[in-house]
Amino acid sequence: MIQRKQSIWLVIASLIILLTLFIPYGVHMESLTESSTVAQTDLTAQTSILLLCLTIASSIFSFFTIFLYGNRKRQMKLCLLSVLLALSVLAYQLYNTTQSAGNKIVVGILGSAIYLGVLIPILSVFFIMMAYIGIKKDEKLIRDSDRLR
């Protein structure tokens, strides 16, 4: 039963959350004291160990949930755990940008780079919830068919 719609949603969610490793969500601006230039570095999930671990854990939980199709109740619980991990990725991104005076969160285009990293965990939560709805429909269908026997 891996060919279900919710399996596709979970694969998409797993791959999308991995995009935070490459797509920046903010910028760290540091002014150099010797000159009047500003050094700018992009903030991605690779810049923080905790954010890297949260991102990889969220992706693994989303992907691992696909193979629990035999136990739909556990699959629904792991979907909710994946949502929690994806939201914690978003929360840590927001915390990391407010933690330092040089960090700023950016959504859109700044210079020649596109900063959409903050939207990625939200998109991942959307796909996980789509999978959750599909799993819940399957569970209801099985319960209704058991009742008819």
- Between 65 and 29, name the one with better pLDDT: 65
Q: Give the mean pLDDT of 25-46.
A: 75
Question: Where does residue 73 rank: exposed (0-12), middle (13-18), buried (19+ CB within 10 A)?
Answer: exposed
Letter for the amino acid at 69? Y
Q: Which two tokens stand for residue 1?
A: 């039963």
Instruction: State the total domains in the chain.
Output: 1
Q: 57-100: per-residue pLDDT in tens? A: 999 999 999 998 888 899 999 999 999 999 999 999 888 888 77
Q: 97-132: per-residue pLDDT in tens? A: 887 777 777 776 777 667 788 889 999 999 999 999
> pLDDT tier at 17 (50, 70, 90 boundaries)?
very high
> pLDDT tier at 35 (50, 70, 90 boundaries)?
low
Q: Which residues pair with 30 in a beta bridge?
A: 39
For 81, the domain range is 5-148
Letter for the amino acid at 91? A
Would you state the pLDDT for residue 134?
Answer: 92
Instruction: Let me know: does 120 contact 20? Beta carbons within 8 Å.
Output: yes
Biggest CA–CA distance in the chain, Å, is 81
Would you state the pLDDT for residue 34?
Answer: 67
